[in-house]
Structure 1
Amino acid sequence: MTLVLAMLLDAAMGEPKWLWSRFPHPAILMGRVIGWADDRFNRGDQRRANGILTMTGLAIGALALGWLLSLFGPVVEIVIAAILFAQRSLVEHVKAVGNALRLSVGDGRMSVAMIVGRDTSEMDAPAVSRAAIESAAENFSDGVIAPIFWFALLGLPGLLLYKITNTADSMIGYRTPRHKDFGWAAARFDDLLNLIPARLTALLIALPHRVLRDWPATVRDARRHRSPNAGWPEAAMARAIDVALAGPRSYGGEMRDFPFVHPEGRDDIGPDDIDAATRVLWTAWSIALALAFAASLL
C-alpha cells in the first residue's frame, strides 16, 4: 500500500513551487554530487576505470541512504517516493508545449526546448509536437514506471539506486570526447536498470489502445531506435495515437537521419495530438496504479 499512496500523492501534488523554491529538489542534490565527481575524477589516462569506480560509489551510497531513510517508517517512504515519481509534473510539462503551440510556433519551440535536447530553432509545428510526444513517452518510462518498478522491487534503496543512475546517465552518459569513457559505466548501468521497465511501459501503453495486435511491428520499430530502451515506449505511443514519431532531427547544428517510428502514422500532427499523448500517460498510469493496488492486497 506504500507504493499506491506514493503514486496518489505524486498525482495530487506534483512538484509544488512553494516547496522547491525554498529547498533544493533531491534530483538537484544528486546532480551536484555527480557534477562534483565529474570534476574530481574525470581526468587522467584511466577515465573508464574512474567512471566505473565513481558509478559503483554512487550506487553503494544510494543503497545505503535508501536503507537508512527506510528506517524512519512508511510515512517517510511515501513522501520520498512521491517526490521522486514524476507523473503529474511530466504531464504538466508536456501539456505546456501543446498550450504554447496553440499560441504560435515560436512559443511552442521555446516550451519544447525545456524538455528536449535537440535543436528547436528551426522546428515547424509537427516537429515541435513530435518532440513533445517522444519526450512524454520516454520520460514516462524513465521518470514514472522505472522508479515505480524499482521501488516496488527493492523499496527506497532500489528507488534511490535507480534515480542516481538515471541522473548520472543524463549528465555524463554521453559519447562526447569528455564523457565517452568516464560516463560509460553510468550509461550501461542505466540501460540495464531500464531494460524491464521500458518494455513494461510499452505494454502499459499498448494494452488499452489495441496496440498489441500490432506488437510485432512495435517491436521492430523499438529495435531500430538508437537506444536499447527508449524505442519501446515511443513505438507503443506512436501506435496508440496513430502518429509518426522520431525521424530526422538536428543536434548541435548537425542533422541526423534517424528512422521514423510507425511511419504509416499521421505526420501532420499538432497540439491536439500532444493532448492525446497525455491522456495515454494517465491511462497507462492508472493501470500501473491498479496493478500496485492488487499487489498490495496479495
Structure 2
Amino acid sequence: MLLWTLDAAVPALALVLALVIDRLWGEPPAPLHPVVWMGRALGACGARLAPGRATGRDLWSFWLAALIWCALAAIVLFLAAALQWLAWAYLPACGVALVLGLLLKPLLAWRMLRDEVLAVESALGQSLAAGRARLAWLVSRDVQQLDETAVRESAIETLAENLCDSVVAPLFWFVLLGLPGAALYRFANTADAMWGYPGMRGGRYWQWAGKWAARADDVLSWLPARLTALLLWAAALGAVRWRDVRTQARVTPSPNGGWPMGAMALALGVRLSKPGVYVLNAAGRVVLAGDAERALRLAARAIAALVMLAVVGLESITHFK
C-alpha cells in the first residue's frame, strides 16, 4: 500500500526522531543492528552462490541468486511490516512515533558518513599513507596509487553517492511505504554492496550471481538519486544550472551515481574523477583541504530541505486520502 492510512504527523515525527537519534548517538551496537543482520544473511548465502572462478553465461547462478534475494527481501518486508503494524495497533500516537523513529534510525547513517569523510581529511593531515588507509574504509577501489588530490576526490564522491544511499533513499521509501519501504531499500542496497560486482571479489565470481542484486538496487535508487541531485542543486542556492547537473549525470557508467556526484562537483566548483572511468566537472578546480567540510555543509542543507519536503509530502498524501 503506497499511502499512509493515519495522521501524517506520526511518520513525520518518526522521521525527525530518527535523524535526531542518529545525530546524538550514531549507529547501534552491531548485535542490535538490522543492517548487520542483513549483511550476515547475505554473506552466508553468497558464499554458496557465486562460483570460485570466472564462467561464461551462468543462468543457474543468476536465477538462484534472484530467488534467494527475493526470499530474504520477503523476510525483511514481513518483519518490518509486522513491527510497524504492532506499533500502530497497540501504542498511542507518541509511542508509535518513538518506536518507528528507533526502528528507522538503523536504516539511515548520516552521522557515520559525516564522521568517516572528516576522518579521511584528518588522516591526510598526518600523511598520505594514513589518508589512503582511512579512505579504504569507505571505498572498494584500490587506494594505494591515489595521490592526495585523488583521495580527497574519492571521499567527496563517496559522500555524494552515499548521501543518496544512506539518507535520502531510505527516507524517500519511508515516506512512500513506511518502515517496510525503508527496510527493503536498505536490504537491496546492502545486497548490491555485497553481491553486485561485475567480476571477481572475495574469491568469488559475481558477474552473474550478483546481477539481480545490482539491477534491483539501480531500480530502487533511480528516483532517490535524482532527488538527491535536486536537493544538492537547491542547496547550492542558484550557483548551479540544472541542465549542467543533467549533463554531468550522463558522464558516469552508473545510471544513478552520476546524479549526486555531478551535482556535488558543480556545487563545489571542483573536479571529481575516477581514473580511467569518468571525470565530473572537468573545468572545475582541483579539490583542496577545506572542500570536504564545504561538501558536508552542502549535504546538511540538502538533508534539511529533504526533511521539509518529506513533511509536506506526508501531509499531502494524508490530505489526498
Following superposition, the deviation at residue 213 of structure 1 comes to: 4.5
Gaps of 5+ in 1: 249-256
- Between the aligned partners of 2:216 and 2:239, the Cα distance in structure 1 is 29
Following superposition, the deviation at residue 296 of structure 1 comes to: 4.7
Residue matched to 2:93:
none
1:252-274 deviation line (CA, Å, top 9, x unaligned): xxxxx12210011112x232111
Worse-matched range after superposition: 51-60 or 235-244: 51-60
Runs of 4+ in structure 1 over 6 Å off = none
- Between the aligned partners of 1:296 and 1:6, the Cα distance in structure 2 is 16
Following superposition, the deviation at residue 109 of structure 1 comes to: 1.2
- Between the aligned partners of 1:282 and 1:213, the Cα distance in structure 2 is 17
Query: TM-score normalized by structure 2?
Result: 0.84
**SS across alignment from 2:142:** coil
Q: Which has the larger radius of gyration?
A: 2
Query: TM-score normalized by structure 1?
Result: 0.90
In the alignment, is residue 264 of structure 1 matched against residue 280 of structure 2?
A: no
**SS across alignment from 2:250:** helix
Structure 2 contact 225–260 (Cα < 8 Å) conserved: yes
Structure 1 residues 130 and 53, CA gap change in structure 2 (3 angstroms): same
Residue matched to 2:259:
232
- Between the aligned partners of 2:79 and 2:239, the Cα distance in structure 1 is 40
**SS across alignment from 1:224:** coil
Structure 2 contact 240–266 (Cα < 8 Å) conserved: no
Structure 1 residues 42 and 113, CA gap change in structure 2 (3 angstroms): closer
Aligned residues between the structures:
285
Give, as a single letter, the amino acid of the residue that structure 1 aligns with 2:163: F
Alignment of 1:26-45 (within 5 A): 26-42=34-50
Structure 1 contact 99–271 (Cα < 8 Å) conserved: no
1:84-112 deviation line (CA, Å, top 9, x unaligned): 11111111111111111122222211111
Structure 1 contact 30–164 (Cα < 8 Å) conserved: yes
Gaps of 5+ in 2: 1-11, 52-57, 88-95, 317-321
Aligned CA RMSD, in angstroms, stands at 1.8
In the alignment, is residue 245 of structure 1 matched against residue 272 of structure 2?
A: yes
Give, as a single letter, the amino acid of the residue that structure 2 aligns with 1:36: A
Structure 2 residue corresponding to 1:196, chosen from 223, 232, 240: 223
Give, as a single letter, the amino acid of the residue that structure 2 aligns with 1:275: E
1:21-61 deviation line (CA, Å, top 9, x unaligned): 6x352221111111122133446861111121112112211
- Between the aligned partners of 1:270 and 1:233, the Cα distance in structure 2 is 20
**SS across alignment from 1:225:** coil
Structure 1 residues 147 and 240, CA gap change in structure 2 (3 angstroms): same
**SS across alignment from 2:86:** coil
Following superposition, the deviation at residue 292 of structure 1 comes to: 2.5
Structure 1 residues 211 and 175, CA gap change in structure 2 (3 angstroms): farther
